[in-house]
Structure 1
Amino acid sequence: MKCLIIICILLSYNLYSQAVVPIYKNSRSAQDVYYKDTFNDFDKFTGTWKYTNGTTSLTITLQKKIKQEHTLNKFYYEDILIGGYKYVENGVEKVNTLHLVMFNMSSKYDYPIVGNSIIGPGSLYCKGCGVSDRKIRLHFSEPNREVPGLDPEMFFQRADSGSVQKLKLKFRTTSGGYEEEGVTPQYTSYSIPFGEYLLVKQP
């Protein structure tokens, strides 16, 4: 009986003493650890942000989810950012996924915006960044719209102006599209145009 109690105590200790590893400046090489947003970088990007140009607008909501299971190739826990968006062009709504952030998806990759790459000074993607500057790189997808060959991603960076909280967004793809010979792709672009946007924090 005493042996059983000791084993239970040891198992409980291992469960609750799981190693915490900062996400920032760490690859996901270890298993059975908790990759944590130790410096609370994600908190600076959460909330609803909006870009407006006449009757064209882009609204993005970002939320932080803590200690999410990762089971692809390796098992570990991680903090992530998830999000949704709404794009209106010339007064016409082209796409709206904002409601999806309210659901607990079976897979984090089911969210239209998701990821947890924190980029700082010295990185190829953060040239000219100050010592405390951070960028967040997130994956992008659009429901029911696949564009062959494109690998879209969103880079977010704080760009406050006085007391006005702002986010600079660079929306791009890491690869070019392709066409299969004899096959006309259904889509060649996403509803949101690639480019740069300056979004303002909403109340």
Structure 2
Amino acid sequence: MKNIFVAILAVFTTACSSQVINLKDWRGDVINGAYYKDIDNELDQFVGTYQLISNNGNDEMIIVFNKIENFSLPNTYAEDLLVGEIKFKKNGILYFNNLNKINENYTNKYLHDICGNSLIANQTRPVCDICNPNQFRARLTFFGRNNNCGGYVILQKFNDGQEKIKVSFFMNCGTFEENRESFIPGGDYILTKQ
């Protein structure tokens, strides 16, 4: 009986300890059954609501980010994710507002407009000149829904007396047969935490 208990304990300990991989160490290789965990809570720095208002209120961008822990699709791997939804208005025209979707309990979390978990160090391109040493940025996919082309975003947290993030949009509109344009022009946007 003692040998059975020791064997079960050994299998359980090995299975649990060998499966967790720190997101900072993940380079994209997938191990079925692994858990790619945000062990150091690097994604937490981006959680919240951020807003940019300009052009006398005619231009507005609001992005809300939530962290999802231990998300997995069947027969794959588990991962911690940052998900986001966006509201975008330009010249008084509301192009989309998906903020109400942030609390949707999607079976597939990649149905959110912004989603991902890639952590990039400050010396990784694009280089971050104002990042603190050992500060990580996040690289997430921006899905081009509602006839808008997508791409990816890089998030960089900073504080100049107020908590802010720099959101850099990199659009990839060239993959569509029809010439779609991005509602959100590619480039850097500075949003203030609300």
Q: Output the TM-score relative to the length of structure 1.
A: 0.80
Q: What residue in structure 1 maps to residue 181 of structure 2?
A: 189
Q: What residue in structure 2 maps to residue 69 of structure 1?
A: 72
Which residue, 153, 161, 177 being the options, matches 2:174?
177
**1:87 corresponds to which letter in structure 2?**
F
Deviations 1:79-120 (A, max 9, x none): 000010001223332201111111111222211000001111
**1:112 corresponds to which letter in structure 2?**
D
**1:168 corresponds to which letter in structure 2?**
K
- Aligned pairs for 1:19-38 within 5 A: 19-29=19-29, 30-38=31-39
DSSP-derived class of the 1:32 partner: coil
Q: How far apart, in 2, do the equivalents of 1:44 and 1:133 lie? A: 10
Q: Output the TM-score relative to the length of structure 2.
A: 0.83
Q: What residue in structure 1 maps to residue 141 of structure 2?
A: 139
**1:197 corresponds to which letter in structure 2?**
Y
Shift of 1:143: 2.8
The alpha-carbon distance between structure 1 residues 70 and 18, as it changes in their structure 2 partners (threshold 3 A), is farther
DSSP-derived class of the 2:49 partner: strand
**1:165 corresponds to which letter in structure 2?**
E
Q: What residue in structure 1 maps to residue 43 of structure 2?
A: 42
Q: What residue in structure 2 maps to residue 158 of structure 1?
A: 157
Shift of 1:18: 5.5
The alpha-carbon distance between structure 1 residues 146 and 200, as it changes in their structure 2 partners (threshold 3 A), is closer
Q: How far apart, in 1, do the equivalents of 2:126 and 2:93 lie? A: 33
Deviations 1:155-185 (A, max 9, x none): 11012112x1000111112x452675xxxx2
Deviations 1:45-97 (A, max 9, x none): 000000111221100000000011155xx721110000100012233322011
Shift of 1:14: 6.0
Q: How far apart, in 2, do the equivalents of 1:116 and 1:161 lie? A: 25
- Aligned pairs for 1:106-121 within 5 A: 106-121=107-122
Unaligned stretches of 5+ residues in structure 2: none
Unaligned stretches of 5+ residues in structure 1: none
The answer to whether the Cα contact below 8 Å between 1:70 and 1:78 also exists between their aligned partners in 2 is no
Q: What residue in structure 2 maps to residue 83 of structure 1?
A: 84
Q: How far apart, in 2, do the equivalents of 1:166 and 1:121 lie? A: 17
Q: How far apart, in 2, do the equivalents of 1:65 and 1:179 lie? A: 30
The answer to whether the Cα contact below 8 Å between 1:126 and 1:135 also exists between their aligned partners in 2 is no
Shift of 1:4: 9.1
Which residue, 192, 196, 200 being the options, matches 2:192?
200
* Stretch of structure 1 that moved more, 90-99 or 5-14: 5-14
**1:58 corresponds to which letter in structure 2?**
M
The answer to whether the Cα contact below 8 Å between 1:18 and 1:32 also exists between their aligned partners in 2 is no
